[in-house]
Structure 1
């Protein structure tokens, strides 16, 4: 049960973002820019970073939502599960392994990111912007995970909700739709 009154039909982060539209707007804008904006990393690769962080933080709602989105964008649920289990042995590029390693270090502590980790990413072909954006995506999802868990948001009653949510965020992005999310009739 959530620690504060939230719209019952909006589990997870969606209910929190509806609760405070003023604080939600900049968070949504940053998420849209980082995960759907111009980048040399694919949308699927950026969703993998979000998925890895949420998995490591054990945030059930965010893990399921971003797993769904990553699977849809990459067209490969097995790959997403392999990354969640062990990104170092998953069949992704060396650059992506190095970036996921940086993200995993950020999840522990920003100070855990070492010059060696950054050098590994650069040697694998990562640009300064890709390293920057990886750190920022990882930090942002640590914020989201703590936000969702810190207010004990509800999980959806039906697991199929995650497929619908994954479809919504892959097709429409992270911005609030006009009119919000009315309760089901």
Structure 2
């Protein structure tokens, strides 16, 4: 049930977009640009990052949809639990770990981001585009996670994962 008095039965992201199409179109355009355009981050990395941010935000709707998509692309499902407890010890590419640390900090404690955090990303060989893409993904996913939670549609609804996957790539 949504928190919107005019739409108490609005329970899906797709339903919200159908009722208020202008609210989500720009977010989806930005997300699609980052997910499908040129990036030093592979598509699998980008999906992993989206799922990871959503899990940090406790946004089950987006987390489950993107985790499922990541697993379908060959990412080991156990990685998601590893990332929750210990990024440094997780079974992911060592080069990805500074990006994941940065994203976690940017999501949970953005006021604590420093030049040193960014430098760790550059030190392992990523370029500015990788940092920019990571920050952009983080910003958009945080916005979308908070949007669905804020209007009350971050719910586990049968079939919703499929709808979200179809809409987001």
* Residues 154 and 147 of structure 1: CA distance in aligned 2, closer, same or farther (over 3 Å): closer
1:46 aligns with 2:9: no
Instruction: Determine the structure 2 residue equivalent to 1:69.
Output: 69
Indicate the residue corresponding to 1:124 in structure 2. 124
Distance 1:7 1:39, change over 3 A: farther
CA distance in 2, matches of 1:25, 1:7: 21
Counterpart in the other structure of 1:178? none
Matched residue, 2:166: 168
Hey, what does 2:16 align to over in structure 1?
16
Which digits, 9 at most, give the CA deviation of each residue in 1:12-47, with x for residues without a partner? Answer: x32332222123221111010112222121111111
State the Cα distance separating 1:103 from its structure 2 match: 0.6
Q: CA deviation at 1:83?
A: 2.5
Does the aligned pair in 2 maintain the 1:6–1:19 contact within 8 Å? no
User: Which residue number in structure 1 is paired with residue 3 of structure 2?
Assistant: 3
Residue 36 of structure 1 pairs with residue 25 of structure 2:
no
SS of the residue corresponding to residue 74 of structure 1 reads: coil
TM-score of the two chains, using structure 1 as the length reference: 0.79
Gaps of 5+ in 2: none
Task: State the match for 2:82 in structure 1.
Answer: 82
Q: What is the aligned partner in structure 1 of residue 56 from structure 2?
A: 56
Residue 53 of structure 1 contacts residue 142 of structure 1 at CA under 8 Å; is this kept in 2? Answer: yes
Residue by residue over 1:148-172, the C-alpha shift from the partner in whole angstroms, topping out at 9 and shown as x without a partner, is: 11001152432x643x347536xx7
How far does the alpha carbon of each residue in 1:97-149 deviate from its partner, in whole angstroms, 9 at most, with x for none?
Answer: 00011111110243322111111111111111101111111111111111011
Count of residues in Structure 1 that have an aligned counterpart in Structure 2: 167
Query: CA RMSD for the aligned pairs?
Result: 2.2
Contiguous gaps of at least 5 residues in structure 1? 174-185
